[in-house]
Structure 1
Amino acid sequence: MNRDHPPLDGLHPLLAGRFSPSKFDPSGAVDDHAVALLLEAARWAPSAGNSQPWAYVTARPGEVDHARVAAHLARSSARWALDAGLLVVTLAHRYVDDSGLLYSEFADYDLGQSVAHLTLQAQAMGLAAHQFRAFDLEKLTAELRPGPGWEIVTMIAVGRPAEPPAAGRARRSVADLRSAPWAPSR
């Protein structure tokens, strides 16, 4: 990981400033309009064949779904995610139904694109998003009972960060991105 090189000049500030906070301001509520904007941004993501194989369960503190979702967080996530103004469960439409017939082989990739759109919209609104997978997937699935062919993938905590990003955030260099993880040709 390279901590020495700042982003290249010209990188959009939303991208350069994005970070995943480990602390949220518990007073930073996410109102109805903000939730609608986040989901609107997610809706406009590209997807294979325009299949849009994603769905979200949103839950704010004080709402019934928040308690249902929060109950399944790992202790490591609960320490910081419960202070966020919004918890979001992400789902991918992987199969047509329970038969195992594939709906979209790109469902997880497309969901990731949708989450990236939501994340950048949050950044544009002065919010931050922290994606995570530290929760009991089996119990959360039993709790939310997604429809046939839908599977829970991750969660996102969204809210006002309680502290600025750490200095010298570690990112792989562009040269590392270009160095192939496969064997060089002979």
Structure 2
Amino acid sequence: MRVLSDTAWAVVGVAGAFGGLKVVESLRPAVTGDDVGAPADQAGLRELPRAYVLSAGAIVASPALTSGLPRWCGPLGVAVQVAGVVLRVWAMRTLSGHYAHAVRVVEDQPVIHSGPYRHVRHPGYLGVVLLWAGAALAARNVLAPALTLAAVGTAYRLRMEAEDALLRRELPGYDAYAASTPRLIPALRGRRP
């Protein structure tokens, strides 16, 4: 009976991940300029759909292979997904028209220091990682989060490395911003060693 319940939660999690991506895309602001970047700067972009499919398969199959996480991880996973969608939308709205699918810099593009960008350089990517981590957590087993974070995390790591390299090279002020703002995990501020 636990396997059926965990499988149902896994399906809810995967549906939430793909549904969350669809909601985010529907709330995306219009892009300033074009949404095309140089192919050399698009590392990781082709890996994202593969990571999503691999993660979805691992999440749905994992309840049949293993269990072990408490039952409350199902609802907690869905809550993490909602938080991921909210963070991604907040990041998009903060960047406004500069939030594009392609990694590129347009004329007069500013370095944004407000909203979630005060805390991390890539809050939109963090939002999607949370969306998939929540889906995996909803499956209520150990295997799904490990595989999902490995797949999605690797794809977004490649994407962030390419984006950081381009922005350091072409966006004045980004290098200083990057030196003072963590890439993905917010720093604990105000703590002294």
In the superposition, the TM-score normalised over structure 2's length comes to 0.29
Between Structure 1 and Structure 2, the one with more strand by share is: 1
In the superposition, the TM-score normalised over structure 1's length comes to 0.30
